[in-house]
Chain A
Amino acid sequence: MSKNMATSLVRQTKLLSIVSSQLNSAACFRNIHCTAACLKNRAARIRVGKGDKSVTYEQAYHPHHIGHRKGWLSQHTSNLQGEDGAAERVVEDVFIRRFMYGTFHGCLADEVVIKRRGNLLVICAVMIQKLLPSKFYFLIGYTVELLSHFYKCPVQIEMQTVEEKVVYKYL
């Protein structure tokens, strides 16, 4: 009796699986929303080309060189044992980088370095001397005020200007 039930159950589940597989191949299936493929062996690497593309030090070295030949672009303590807030820091960093890229459009010579010391947010940027110094000061004042009101913490910008982008090599 039990054996009979078992075999009938197995047959039923087999049927179900056949039916569901047929259904899956048809139009109705559940979707998972995912991004485009972000291959880890293509991230942050500029590939060797004809030799006419100028590349800064930061761009020339690949991510596995971080800690060996490169430093970190974002410095905070939330990745230490027992500290939390790492994800929020990442989101803030992304926003800050986009904000700097847009506000000082075309002037950034290299990636922005973000450091957090306690409550203070320090944004270190190297700029090309594309604008007049007074315009730079205007944008600095604007950025500091806006970001400090946005993140409710003191924000400081340390800026350095160079005449041209500092080229490390040509790829």
Chain B
Amino acid sequence: MKTFLTLTSFSPTQKLFSLSQESGRNAAKYFINTYPKYFQKDYAQPHIPCLMPETLEAQIEEASEAALIERIRMRKVKAAVDLYDQLLQAGTSVSLDVTNQLLDLICFCGDHDPAQENVPEQRNEETVGWSHHKTIGRLFLFFPFRENNNAERIFALLSEPNTHSYSALIRGMVKYGAYSKAFSTYTDLLNNRLKADVQTFNALIIAAPEVKEKYNEKWELIVDLLKQMAEQKVKPNLLTLNAVLKALRRCGTLGKSQAFPVISEMKALSIGLLSDHYLLLLLQERSATIQGQTDILQEVMNEVSGKSFTAQDPDDGICISLQVHELLGVGENWRLLGNDFQQNIYYARFFSLLCMMENIDVMLKWYRDLVPSVYYPSSNIMRDLLQALDTDNRLDLIPQIWKDIKQLGHANRQNLVEELLILMAREKHNQEVQESFAECALDIKKIYDTGDRGKVLLSWTAGSLSDLISVLLAAHRRQDAWEMLKLFKTHNRVPSEELLNRFLTCVKEAGEVNQAVELVQISAGFCLPETPKLIQRVQQEFELTEQKYINFVLWIAGSAFTVDEAESSPGSSHVVAAPSSNPPAAPFSSPPASAHFSSLCVSL
């Protein structure tokens, strides 16, 4: 398992890193092979041939069979074909075996030199065989089978083509898309009264859907081929099963109904269900479209749980997915999880199912097991997890989840962070939980500030700011909340009424008069409609000294308070009535002052 420099969310970045490492390796290989003289000194005992620069030149120069064999081994198609022609012209006969090998090579490489041998995902040895069809086939589909090409020419030159030659030619044709030609070659073969081998049949089965138009014709063709296989007493093998299933995928709905009988027949022939990539692909397809396949799949699962097999289908029920996971633990099955991409899908589905169905403890147990050692959940999965926590009232686990979110690199997802804030701010919890929430909130605040390279990661919304402030207030962190309030102005967002009310309550508990007054000023700065109510509250709940009170009222009078607001609110009358109802608060020493004051109020 490769280790990486940074902990990133799965798939895209990790793939990027592997690919960039691979391209670095290719760059080094280019240098090594272009300037081999610097890498010739051999320190290693015993000799390590893979660390020497590649010698791509053929050693044997003269025209002989051995030279041809060598060129075939080195995959030099053009050189091999030229040498073959040379040999024929010179009159030396080339044995059938070697010719067959040459045909194999041409059909495999498609009549051109294999240029790209270092594709990242293929680090396996490419023998001149037909395995790894799936990965390699992707590359070579760009080169269509041309007319009068070397393969056919050499085939024609053969005096007695045997099964191997026919099979090589047919497989080459199928690989490169000349499907009808493949079938005509097959009829040739039958005319020559030769038997086709199992590989030929596999290729023909793959080619069958391409040749016919309608679904049932395709299926009939496949059945026909299978019957001929039985006549020629050729045993179908695993690849046959795979080929049939692959072809069935192209047959639409008919294929789906035929799939299971096929599988049961194959089982009757005791072909092991070992590498059932195609089976599970088929199953995925099925479960995507047809509901209620649970029973069939359960059947399959029961039969199969005895053997080493697994399938990916977490769509259908939590019990199955748990069973599947158990199977994964058995032996070699982890290999079947396929490459990273499929693993990702599997775990994503598994987790979403868990979040939906199971209670929180089971979910958390799986979460701790798998994350982050095996799987890096995406941000959607984290959302599901948060919702599950919410349903089960385990919101106190939020700070831990937040740490995980940061580590996985999802901290820059706006919706995830906002959801987190909403969940934290919604209800009141006990003291320690609130404390931890407050820490979390301050952490989140840091994320919102611009990073050191000046790029803004997240932008504040009114909702998120309010939530954050409420969390801080609930934990009695008034000072921090106060600073946050100033952010409203800088980021052009408007605070909500309940937020200001809550703030005022908090301020009142602390008894900070100045802050209360400032709060009202802020609210007036935003021209909020509830400003008069706030003013009323301040006057009622706070004990203002005489000087402060006068300043306050003067400020109200002189501030950019529209007459509408003053008139529309019932608060104005209260403002007038206030002095009389606050005798302990503001003992007015001089009646002239109070008269002056009331005239001021009236003029509002």
Query: Does B48 contact A152, Cβ atoms closer than 8 Å?
Result: yes
Question: B28: nearest residue on chain A (CB-CB)?
Answer: A145
- Residues of B within 8 Å of A137, CB to CB, are 5, 17-18, 20-21, 24
Q: Is the CB of B25 within 8 A of A142?
A: yes
List, in ascending order, chain B residues with CB within 8 A of A161's CB: 5
Give the docked Cα–Cα distance between A138 and B21 (Å): 4
Interface residues on A, range: 20 to 34
Complex CA gap A146/B25 in Å reads 8
A139 neighbours in B (Cβ, 8 Å):
24
Q: Residue B326 at the A interface, CB < 8 A?
A: no
Stretch at the interface among A13-21, A42-50, A109-117, A128-136: A128-136
B contact patch SS:
helix
Contact, CB under 8 Å: B16 / A141: no
Q: B17 near A146 (CB under 8 angstroms)? A: no
Say yes or no: A141-B25 contact (C-beta < 8 A), given A133-B6, A134-B17, A149-B32.
yes
Q: Is the CB of B44 within 8 A of A153?
A: yes
Indicate if the CB atoms of B51 and A149 lie closer than 8 Å. yes
Question: A90 at the A/B interface (Cβ < 8 Å)?
Answer: no
User: Which of B35-43, B343-351, B501-509 is near enough to bind chain A?
Assistant: B35-43
Cβ of B236 < 8 Å from any Cβ of A? Answer: no
Query: Whole-angstrom distance from the CB of A155 to the nearest CB of chain B?
Result: 10
By the criterion CB–CB under 8 Å, are B38 and A138 in contact?
Answer: no
Residues of B within 8 A of A148 (CB): 51
Residues 30-58 of B, flagged 1 when their CB comes within 8 A of A and 0 if not, give: 01100000110011100010011100000
Q: With a CB–CB cut-off of 8 A, which chain B residues contact A136?
A: 5
> Quick check: is B419 within 8 A (CB to CB) of the other chain?
no
**For residue A152, which residues in chain B have a CB less than 8 angstroms away from its CB?**
42-44, 48, 51-52
Write the nearest CB–CB distance from A5 to chain B, whole angstroms.
60
Please indicate the chain A residues that have their CB under 8 angstroms from the CB of B445 in the complex.
none
Instruction: Give the chain A neighbours of B29 by CB distance below 8 A.
Output: 145
Across-interface contacts of A159 in B (CB, < 8 A): 5
Write the nearest CB–CB distance from A99 to chain B, whole angstroms: 12
In the complex, which residues of chain A have a beta carbon less than 8 angstroms from the beta carbon of B5? 133, 136-137, 159, 161
- A142-B44 in contact (CB<8A): no
Quick one: closest A residue to B18, CB to CB? A137
Q: Which B residues are in CB contact (< 8 Å) with A153?
A: 43-44, 51
Chain A residues with Cβ below 8 Å from B24 are 137-143, 145
Provide the residues of chain A in CB contact with B384, threshold 8 Å: none
Whether B25 contacts A144 by the Cβ 8 Å rule is yes
User: Provided the pairs A136-B5, A152-B48 are in contact, do residues A146 and B32 lie with their beta carbons within 8 angstroms?
Assistant: yes
Contact of B20 with A135 in the complex, beta carbons under 8 Å: yes
Residue B253 CB within 8 A of the other chain: no
Does B23 interact with chain A (Cβ within 8 Å)?
A: yes
* A151 within 8 Å of B (CB atoms): yes
Complex interface: chain A residues within 8 A of B51 (CB): 148-149, 152-153
Residue among B32, B42, B53 with max Cβ neighbours from chain A (10 Å): B32
User: Taking the complex as formed, is B602 at the interface, i.e. its CB lies under 8 A from any CB of chain A?
Assistant: no
Contacts of B42 in A (CB 8 A): 152
A145-B28, A149-B28 known; A138+B23 contact, CB < 8 A = yes
> Closest approach, in angstroms, between the C-beta of A57 and any C-beta of chain B?
22
Interface check B27, CB cutoff 8 A? yes
Interface centre among A135, A136, A141, A151 (most CB of B within 10 A): A141
A96 to chain B, nearest CB (A): 14
> In the complex the two chains form, what is the Cα distance from A92 to B5 in whole Å?
26
Q: Does B316 lie at the interface of the complex (its beta carbon under 8 Å from any beta carbon of A)?
A: no
User: Smallest distance from the beta carbon of B101 to chain A beta carbons, Å?
Assistant: 31
Contact in complex: A134, B43 (CB < 8 Å) = no
Determine whether A72 belongs to the interface, using a CB cutoff of 8 Å to chain B. no
Q: Is A29 an interface residue (CB 8 A)?
A: no
A134–B27 contact, CB under 8 A?
Answer: no
CA distance A138 to B5 in the complex (A): 13
Cα separation A135 to B24 with both chains bound (whole Å)? 9
Cβ of A143: which chain B residues have Cβ within 8 Å of it? Answer: 24, 28
Q: How far, in whole Å, are A120 and B37 apart by their CA atoms in the complex? A: 24
CA distance A24 to B185 in the complex (A): 95
State how many angstroms separate the Cβ of B150 from the closest Cβ of chain A. Answer: 35
Contacts of A133 in B (CB 8 A): 5-6, 13, 17
Report whether B28 and A141 are in contact in the complex, using a CB–CB cutoff of 8 Å.
yes
Question: Hey, which chain A residues are within 8 Å of B28, CB to CB?
Answer: 141-146, 149
Chain A residues near B13 (CB-CB < 8 A): 133
> Does B22 reach chain A (CB closer than 8 Å)?
yes
Interchain CA distance A161-B44 in the complex, whole Å: 33
Q: How far is the CB of B392 from chain A (nearest CB, A)?
A: 37
Q: Which residues of A contact B32 (CB under 8 A)?
A: 145-146, 149
Residue of B nearest to A163 (CB): B452
CA distance A133 to B27 in the complex (A): 17
Q: Which residues of A contact B22 (CB under 8 A)?
A: 141
B53 touches A134 (CB 8 A): no
Residue of B nearest to A152 (CB): B44
Query: Given the known A-B contacts A137-B17, A139-B24, A141-B23, are A146 and B44 also in contact in the complex, defined by CB atoms under 8 Å?
Result: no
Q: A141-B28, A142-B25, A142-B27 are in contact. Are A134 and B44 (CB under 8 A)?
A: no
What is the distance, in angstroms, from A107's C-beta to the closest C-beta of chain B?
Answer: 12
The 18 listed contacts between A and B (C-beta, < 8 Å) are: A133-B6, A133-B13, A135-B20, A137-B5, A137-B21, A138-B23, A138-B27, A140-B21, A140-B24, A142-B24, A142-B27, A143-B24, A143-B28, A148-B51, A149-B51, A152-B52, A153-B44, A161-B5
If A142-B25, A149-B52 are given as contacts, then 13 extra A-B residue pairs at C-beta distance below 8 Å, sorted by A number, are A134-B16, A134-B17, A134-B20, A140-B21, A141-B20, A141-B23, A141-B27, A142-B28, A143-B24, A144-B25, A144-B28, A145-B28, A152-B48
- Across the A-B interface, give the 7 residue pairs with the lowest CB-CB distance, nearest first: A141-B24, A145-B28, A142-B24, A141-B21, A152-B44, A138-B24, A146-B28
